[in-house]
Amino acid sequence: MPAEIVPTEDEIAVHWREESRIDPPPSFSDHAQIRDPALREQLDPSRGPDGFRAYADLLTWDRPYDRVLDDSNPPFYRWFTGGSLNASVNAIDRHLPGAANRVAFHFVPEDESAPIEAITYGELSGKVNRLARLLQDRFALTAGDRVTLYLPMVPELPIAMLACARLGVIHSVVFSGFSGKAAGERIVDSTSRFLITMDGYFRNGQWIDLKAQADQAARESRARNHSLEGVLVFERTPGRYQSTSRIRAPEEIALTPLLETTSGDPCPPVSRESNDGLFIMYSSGTTGRPKGCFHGTGGYLSWVGATTRYVLDLRPDDVYWCMADIGWITGHSYIVYGPLLVGATSVLYEGLPQWPDAARPWRISEHLGVTVLHTSPTAIRALRRLDPDLPQRYGAPFRLLCTVGEPIEPETWHWYHEMVGHRRAVVVDTYWQTETGGHLLATLPGIEAMKPGSAGPALPGITASIYDEAGRKLPPGSGRAGILGIEHPWPGLMLGIWNDPDRFRKTYFEPLRRGVWADRWIYCTHDAATWSADGYFRILGRTDDVINVAGHRLGSKEMESAALTVPGIAEAAVVPYPDPVKGAVPLLFISTQKTCGPARDLAAAVSRAVVEAIGPIARPYAVIPVADLPKTRSGKIMRRVLRAVARGEEAGDVTTLANPESVTEVRNAVAEILSVGTTGPSGERS
Ligand code: WTA
């Protein structure tokens, strides 16, 4: 795997040490949904895929499937073929006979003086049916069409997803924090017929004008020769349109008033074959172009439903709060589909967790009686920093605390366990990816011990191993790091990359098809990990060009392409730089053409270009101009050298570089810009 950088022994040594195991308390285990370790044997892939029937049985099918797994065209695996079902029926309708009055979502606006809105399963059904009917009757949307949803954390987002799912329309949600330009690019790639958005929303105490961003998305789409048939705009507060950008008929349509006059008659669900698409979720990868991870219906829902039950241990009587944004995969799987499949009650929070102060999450949790909390290490670190003793003063009945998105260091883990969970709650560290649909590594919380800093063993049905540079399997307990790979398919794996089957095979299944494994299709996660003798994995981080900022996955190539649009920039390279709260932040090195203006102005322009292309989450921590970037003789920029120098580490062997003298210049530039408290002499800081 030539492009991958497997961490060296030295890098592993500076990583945290393995901790001892902590058993779940009996108060939790005695009631956990999985108390029988036999699940591992039942799902052991060496017995074939039949064990997954139990996961399919968690769903309501319109037509039973003929085959569990069709693996005749690897790596394009198809699950539960011939079976048909509808996602919105599974998420909503099947709960209605017994639980129409159970709350599906408690919507908590960021403004604390605004009332919390409880939406029952019955009400959710009404809203989803009404919107589905409108999309079908007025806009002629049918199964297989694509619609982009550019919506914040408000009930309209899950409602729109489920309305699409009811019709078999493939939704593509774009995170509302992404720029209009990024949204436009995704509209074009998915060839969406419509864009559904909102006038705006509240975040960090401010009104964010989303409609203005949506205008830019539509412009970008037109500029790339794709015209939307329409832009449908919700009002954040019904009856009060608040965007500075007015709604321009006939392409733009005010959705909220239109829904009020739409028939409330049920909209019959469209039954979908198990391998028909449910959604596209764009994710960053190794090239400048985001890839549309395309998920199916039966396999995806069975995996998400099962992991919601067995890993999050979620039940209908739980009050569950996942702080992620629905615009990322965690929100799709574990705010929308998973919790609704099990019929649980979820908190949907509009804003920033620490708004207006660090106690907000604990007030919300106490007030609503949150039993299962799900968040990221970045959010935990941020809340701990603001006031480590705060959660103790509040009394939420947490029984399970989940973490996702980035490695959690033991110190932060222990704070979560002790101060938030009072050692009564179990902590579950879940490792997975947009591509995998749901969890891959985690402990089964009722029966497996927790180990701070280690995500856990592979889940039942998942065959995980680590592989060295030569593609050899490293056994558990080797003390070495390797690339994490998954040997057998599982139902949550995406169907492919939207419109690019070749890229799917090349990106995920070629890197580990080497040596003795040449005839096997092993899924490559592109994450490095260690594997201890007890079978637990510790994730060390990405080995490709993806950088993980505050649990958000960003493509360094996307940032570099944005930088290169600024006149005067010759080359750009992004590397992760350690950050005590966000895990890592992007550091952007640029080299400039001879005839350009002052480096300081350029740095500011580059930073703006990145924010415009991707969004504020990608704003570089610093932009560092140098005359020349370290390169190999074949002209490849040595990001590894930049990364080491930025961290103040040895650059390693630089004799193979075409320009070894550049390393000293990089070192000096880093020292100059990063050592200055706020804005460096030529750096742009955020
Ligand atoms: C990282 C998010 C360590 C990893 C669900 C992966 C983690 C990338 C963990 C996927 C974890 C996710 N421990 N690292 N528990 N969970 N990651 O696609 O690098 O947004 O490849 O999916 O996040 O990010 P994505």
DSSP 535-573: S-EEEEEESSSEEEETTEEEEHHHHHHHHHTSTTEEEEE
Per-residue confidence (pLDDT) for residue 11, from 0 to 100:
61
Of 345-354, 360-369, 513-522, 615-624, the range with the lowest mean pLDDT is: 513-522
Higher pLDDT, residue 557 or 326:
326
Span from the CA of 493 to the centroid of ligand 1 (angstroms):
15
Q: Report d(CA 284, CA 619) in Å as an integer.
A: 16
The residue contributing the CA closest to ligand 1 atom 8 is 433
Higher pLDDT, residue 367 or 551:
367
HEC-encoded secondary structure of 244-270: CCCCCCCCEEEHHHHHHCCCCCCCCCC
Domain covering 467-541, topology: Luciferase; domain 3 (2.30.38)
Using most ligand atoms within 8 A of CB, pick from 436, 440, 553, 582 the residue to mutate for ligand 1.
553
HEC-encoded secondary structure of 180-213: HHHHHHHHHHCCCCEEEEECCEEECCEEECHHHH
Per-residue confidence (pLDDT) for residue 655, from 0 to 100:
80
Ligand 1 and 86: CB distance under 6 A:
no
Span from the CA of 405 to the centroid of ligand 1 (angstroms):
4
Span from the CA of 548 to the centroid of ligand 1 (angstroms):
8
Span from the CA of 406 to the centroid of ligand 1 (angstroms):
5
CB–CB of 148/154 below 8 Å?
Answer: no
Ligand 1 and 539: CB distance under 6 A:
yes
Mean pLDDT within 352-370:
96
Span from the CA of 639 to the centroid of ligand 1 (angstroms):
21
For the CA atoms of 384, 387, 388, 392, the dihedral, rounded to the nearest 10 degrees, stands at -120
Kindly report the pTM of this predicted structure. 0.94
Nearest alpha-carbon partner for 467 in 6, 34, 62: 6
Model confidence at 306: pLDDT above 90: yes
Q: Percent of the chain, pLDDT > 70?
A: 95
Using most ligand atoms within 8 A of CB, pick from 406, 427, 617 the residue to mutate for ligand 1.
406
Model confidence at 1: pLDDT above 50: no
The residue contributing the CA closest to ligand 1 atom 20 is 553
Per-residue confidence (pLDDT) for residue 635, from 0 to 100:
82
What is the dihedral sign for C-alpha 535, 541, 546, 550? Answer: positive
Alpha-carbon distance values, 676 to 107, 257, 663 (Å): 43, 53, 20
Nearest alpha-carbon partner for 212 in 241, 255, 171: 241
Ligand 1 and 332: CB distance under 6 A:
no
Burial class (CB in 10 A: 0-12, 13-18, 19+), 409: middle
Span from the CA of 299 to the centroid of ligand 1 (angstroms):
21
Q: Report d(CA 682, CA 576) in Å as an integer.
A: 20
Span from the CA of 282 to the centroid of ligand 1 (angstroms):
15
Per-residue confidence (pLDDT) for residue 7, from 0 to 100:
67
Span from the CA of 458 to the centroid of ligand 1 (angstroms):
14
Model confidence at 4: pLDDT above 60: no
Give the H or E element holding residue 291: strand 291-296
Domain boundaries, the chain: 467-541, 550-674
CATH number of 550-674: 3.30.300.30
Mean pLDDT within 513-527:
84
pLDDT bin (cut points 50, 70, 90) of residue 683 is very low
Ligand 1 and 334: CB distance under 6 A:
no
Per-residue confidence (pLDDT) for residue 323, from 0 to 100:
97
Alpha-carbon distance values, 419 to 372, 382, 396, 431, 446 (Å): 15, 14, 12, 23, 21
Per-residue confidence (pLDDT) for residue 516, from 0 to 100:
65
Residue 47 carries which DSSP code? G
Per-residue confidence (pLDDT) for residue 14, from 0 to 100:
56
Q: Report d(CA 159, CA 202) in Å as an integer.
A: 19
Ligand 1 and 443: CB distance under 6 A:
no
Highest mean pLDDT among 206-210, 583-587, 661-665: 206-210
pLDDT in tens, 417-463: 999 999 999 999 999 999 999 999 999 999 999 999 999 999 999 99
Q: Report d(CA 441, CA 464) in Å as an integer.
A: 8
pLDDT in tens, 77-135: 999 999 999 999 999 999 999 999 999 999 999 999 999 999 999 999 999 999 999 99
Span from the CA of 330 to the centroid of ligand 1 (angstroms):
10
Using most ligand atoms within 8 A of CB, pick from 527, 545, 582 the residue to mutate for ligand 1.
527
CA 161 to chain centre: 16
**Beta bridge partners of residue 451, listed in sequence order:** none
Per-residue confidence (pLDDT) for residue 545, from 0 to 100:
85
Using most ligand atoms within 8 A of CB, pick from 433, 439, 526 the residue to mutate for ligand 1.
433
Per-residue confidence (pLDDT) for residue 31, from 0 to 100:
94
Ligand 1 and 607: CB distance under 6 A:
no
Ligand 1 and 404: CB distance under 6 A:
yes
Compute the chain's Rg from CA coordinates.
Answer: 24
The residue contributing the CA closest to ligand 1 atom 7 is 406
Per-residue confidence (pLDDT) for residue 677, from 0 to 100:
42
Ligand 1 nearest-atom number relative to CA 526: 21
Ligand 1 and 551: CB distance under 6 A:
no
Q: Report d(CA 568, CA 527) in Å as an integer.
A: 35
Per-residue confidence (pLDDT) for residue 5, from 0 to 100:
58
Q: Are strands 345-349 and 291-296 parallel, antiparallel or unpaired?
A: unpaired
Per-residue confidence (pLDDT) for residue 3, from 0 to 100:
44
Per-residue confidence (pLDDT) for residue 68, from 0 to 100:
98
pLDDT in tens, 603-648: 999 999 999 999 999 999 999 999 899 998 888 888 889 999 998 8
Ligand 1 and 273: CB distance under 6 A:
no
Alpha-carbon distance values, 65 to 71, 78, 277, 307, 393 (Å): 15, 11, 16, 21, 51
Mean pLDDT of the chain: 93
Span from the CA of 544 to the centroid of ligand 1 (angstroms):
13
The residue contributing the CA closest to ligand 1 atom 22 is 433
Ligand 1 and 391: CB distance under 6 A:
no
Per-residue confidence (pLDDT) for residue 504, from 0 to 100:
96
Burial class (CB in 10 A: 0-12, 13-18, 19+), 384: buried
Mean pLDDT within 1-14:
56
CB–CB of 408/538 below 8 Å?
Answer: no
Per-residue confidence (pLDDT) for residue 6, from 0 to 100:
64
Per-residue confidence (pLDDT) for residue 678, from 0 to 100:
39
